[in-house]
Amino acid sequence: MISANETNPRIVMDSPGIEHQVVVSALLIAATIFVHGVFVAAAAAMFRAVKRPAIGVYRFFRDSIALVLIGAWLMLAHSIEISMWAWTFVRLEVFEGWEPALYFSAASYTTLGFGDVLLPEPWRLLSGAAAANGLLLFGLSAAFLFDAAGQLHLGGRRMSD
């Protein structure tokens, strides 16, 4: 049942069907992928800016700092995406406050899933969507960092170069 009133203009879904959960999941996954894409594109631009030839100790510190900054930047993206899930849970009144919503979102998104905080049964499909979303975006971050580290030739040049 979908209801709204004048004092609380939020849409409240007492018992959402599968289609509501699929729509919410799809929209949220699309939004988080877009956010992550923006962050990865910005990280790639930052990486291109620092990837100039260098030697010695300068190169070591430059490369180390670049990887730390890129990693922190991508973690910021994940934090925003977890917050987007939490905001949705609060907005749908699945959780009453930010703390349990953030906790559950982080546990689901990271696929940690302690199981001590659960979604109500009518919304439980969202937990799987959050986990799949996090798995996909952490994979994207890992692939980007792996490629960046490879382009920096962290172990020096290969023998064939």
Domain ranges, ordered by start, for the chain: 19-152
Nearest to 141 by CA among 66, 62, 70: 70
Beta carbons of 65 and 73 less than 8 angstroms apart: no
Is the pLDDT confidence value at 89 over 70?
Answer: yes
User: Given the structure tokens 């919304």, which residue do they identify?
Assistant: 123
Q: Is the pTM of this model over 0.85?
A: no
Q: Are 15 and 1 in contact (CB under 8 A)?
A: yes
Q: How many CB atoms lie within 10 A of CB 102?
A: 19
As a CATH number, domain 19-152 is 1.10.287
Structure tokens at 135: 């798995």
Residue 73 near residue 67 (C-beta atoms within 8 A): no
Residues 98-135 have pLDDT tens digits of 999 999 999 999 999 888 899 998 899 999 999 999 99
Output 75 or 96, whichever has higher pLDDT.
75
